[in-house]
């Protein structure tokens, strides 16, 4: 059975929160959205909230999350389908500022920042995520 994942796109003033993955996790050096593996008994939205909190040390209300799509997730070499990622979006009024230094899984990223999609081409974030974001 393929794994399921969930991630959160945070949009603020036409920019998106991207985080650079560390050497301690899959896809080191790739920029992505906060997210991770669904645990037994969790719904995609529960996974999205939990993973966001564990990686960013910021709690987000599920009422503010809207599902925007599902994208395939592949192995590091891009050849084997590992599963699917449920992607949610939130557009908070105040900019969410991650604190990797206190986050439970803060070591999964080396840095985070808000960027326009033009600043994050498919070569930096992956084609599937790029295409989803482009069509949002």
pLDDT in tens, the chain (136 residues): 689 999 999 999 999 999 999 998 888 899 999 999 999 999 999 999 999 999 999 999 999 999 999 999 887 677 888 899 999 999 999 999 999 999 999 999 999 999 999 999 999 998 999 999 999 8
Give one DSSP letter per residue of the chain, joined into a string: --EEEEEEEEEETTEEEEEEEPTTSSSTT-EE-SEEEPPTT--HHHHHHHHHHHHHS----GGG-EEEEEEEEE-TTS-SEEEEEEEEEE--SSPP---TTTSTTGGGEEEEEEE-GGGS-HHHH-HHHHHHHHT-
* pLDDT value at residue 79: 80
* pLDDT value at residue 20: 97
* pLDDT value at residue 1: 62
Say which CATH architecture domain 3-134 belongs to.
Answer: Alpha-Beta Complex (3.90)
Q: Where are the domains of the chain?
A: 3-134
């Amino acid at each position: 059975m393929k794994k399921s994942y969930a991630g959160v796109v945070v949009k603020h003033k036409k920019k998106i929160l991207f985080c650079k993955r560390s050497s301690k996790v899959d896809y080191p050096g790739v920029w992505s959205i906060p997210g991770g593996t669904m645990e037994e008994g969790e719904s995609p939205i529960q996974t999205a909230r939990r993973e966001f909190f564990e990686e960013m040390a910021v709690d987000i209300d599920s009422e503010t999350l809207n599902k925007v799509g599902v994208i395939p997730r592949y192995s590091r070499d891009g050849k084997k389908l590992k599963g699917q990622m449920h992607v949610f979006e939130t557009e908070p009024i105040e900019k969410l500022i991650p604190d990797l230094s206190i986050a439970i899984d803060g070591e999964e990223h080396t840095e985070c920042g808000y960027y326009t999609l033009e600043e994050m081409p498919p070569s930096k974030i992956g084609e599937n995520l790029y295409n989803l974001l482009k069509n949002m």
